[in-house]
């Protein structure tokens, strides 16, 4: 990805102050999604990093992780696994509670979503405090997956979320 294209992607991230709570600056990616070239570039940046590697499954985090994760899995020809907010998955699940930059939540994964020993990559739009992805990592391991990397379009570096994911390698493309 050229630095010019990364710059264009960055300019597609809109800051929305005080959403969903006072004091939070929400990184809105809908300007990227609605622009064909930018949406394609936002998928390509993940793909350039993933192509040619041994990856068995992509796990995407509800809901914006689905947008990138499913497109990446489609292009790589591998399976996609949704990690969902509590109460949305119909079959037997493992679950984990976690805290967000702006609240608390619980995540679930189907118990048979990943075959023991499969190499898994976790994808979401944004890494903030790392609470969501750390619980996602715990769930992936609980169902037998080997989490080889967590990849985010955006990282809020000042919140040090990657420390919560250690020792899992963390990759991000737009850092703030
Ligand atoms: P965290 O668990 O704190 O790392 O939060 C990450 C999750 O919450 C991701 O699924 C993000 O989509 C969402 N999120 C947290 N903070 C923000 C923010 N400032 N702007 C946009 N999304 C956010």
Q: Which of 84, 101, 155, 162 is catalytic?
A: 101
Cα-based distances in Å from 60 to 3, 11, 35, 163: 26, 24, 22, 20
Six token digits for residue 7: 């710059």
Compute, in angstroms, the gap from residue 85 CA to the centroid of ligand 1. Answer: 14
SS3 call for 144: coil
What is the pTM assigned to this prediction?
Answer: 0.97
Distant-in-sequence, close-in-space partners of 132: CB < 8 Å, separation ≥ 6: 61, 98, 100, 105, 107, 124
Domain locations in the chain? 53-175
Q: What is the pLDDT of residues 72-91, one digit of tens each?
A: 999 999 999 999 999 999 99
pLDDT of 103: 72
Q: What's the mean pLDDT in 53-79? A: 98
Q: 53-175 domain in CATH 3.40.50.2020? A: yes
């Amino acid at each position: 990805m050229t630095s010019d294209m990364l710059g264009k992607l960055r300019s597609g991230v809109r800051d929305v102050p005080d959403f969903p709570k006072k004091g939070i600056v929400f990184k809105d990616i809908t300007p990227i999604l609605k622009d064909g070239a930018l949406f394609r570039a936002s998928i390509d940046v993940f793909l350039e990093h993933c192509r040619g590697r041994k990856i068995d499954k992509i796990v995407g985090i509800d809901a914006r992780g689905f947008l990138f994760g499913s497109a990446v899995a489609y292009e790589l020809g591998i399976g996609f696994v949704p990690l969902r907010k509590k109460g949305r998955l119909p079959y037997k699940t493992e679950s984990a509670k976690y805290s967000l930059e702006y609240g608390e939540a619980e995540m679930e994964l189907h118990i048979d979503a990943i075959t023991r020993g499969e190499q898994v990559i976790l994808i979401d739009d944004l890494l903030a405090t790392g609470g969501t992805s750390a619980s996602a990592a715990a769930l992936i391991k609980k169902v037998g997956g080997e989490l080889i990397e967590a990849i985010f379009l955006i990282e809020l570096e000042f919140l040090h979320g990657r420390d919560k994911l250690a020792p899992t390698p963390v990759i991000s493309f737009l850092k703030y």
